[in-house]
Amino acid sequence: MASNLLPSDFDQQIASAVECFWQTKGAGTGAQEGKRTSVVSGKNLDGFLAVARSVAAHCGIPESSVHTLGKKFLTLPGFYRPIKNWDVVVVHNYRLLAAIEFKSHAGPSFGNNFNNRCEEALGNVTDLRAAYEKGIYHPERHKAAGLNSDLPDPRSPFLGYLMLLEECEGSTKTVKADSPHYFLDPQFEGSSYADRYKIFCERLMSRRLYESASLILSPSSRSEPGEWRALSDATDPKALFASFAAQLLSAQA
pLDDT in tens, 196-247: 999 999 999 999 999 999 999 999 988 888 999 999 999 999 999 999 999 9
pLDDT for residue 225: 83
Question: CB burial class (10 A; 0-12, 13-18, 19+) of residue 51?
Answer: buried
Selection from 190, 191, 215 nearest residue 202 by Cα: 215
**Digit-coded pLDDT (tens) for 88-112:** 999 998 899 999 999 999 978 898 7
Q: 197: helix, coil or strand?
A: helix
42 close to 52: Cβ distance less than 8 angstroms: no
**Digit-coded pLDDT (tens) for 3-24:** 689 999 999 999 999 999 999 9
CA pair distance 63, 90, nearest whole angstrom: 10
CA pair distance 236, 46, nearest whole angstrom: 19
Q: Over 90: is that where the pLDDT of 34 sits?
A: no
DSSP β-ladder status, 88-92 and 83-85: unpaired
Residue 90 bridge partners (DSSP): 66, 98
**Digit-coded pLDDT (tens) for 112-171:** 799 999 999 999 999 999 999 998 988 777 777 665 555 566 789 999 999 999 999 999
CA pair distance 206, 202, nearest whole angstrom: 6
Question: CB burial class (10 A; 0-12, 13-18, 19+) of residue 225?
Answer: exposed
CA pair distance 37, 43, nearest whole angstrom: 10
User: Which alpha helices (DSSP H) does 27-110 contain, by range?
Assistant: 32-40, 46-58
Q: 221: helix, coil or strand?
A: coil
Packing angle between helix 10-26 and helix 237-251, nearest 10 degrees?
120
CA pair distance 198, 192, nearest whole angstrom: 10
Q: Over 90: is that where the pLDDT of 42 sits?
A: no
pLDDT for residue 174: 95
CA pair distance 115, 143, nearest whole angstrom: 37
Q: Which amino acid is at 233?
A: D
CA pair distance 171, 169, nearest whole angstrom: 6
Selection from 3, 11, 7 nearest residue 59 by Cα: 7
Q: Over 80: is that where the pLDDT of 185 sits?
A: yes
User: Which alpha helices (DSSP H) does the chain contain, by range?
Assistant: 2-5, 10-26, 32-40, 46-58, 111-133, 169-172, 193-206, 237-251
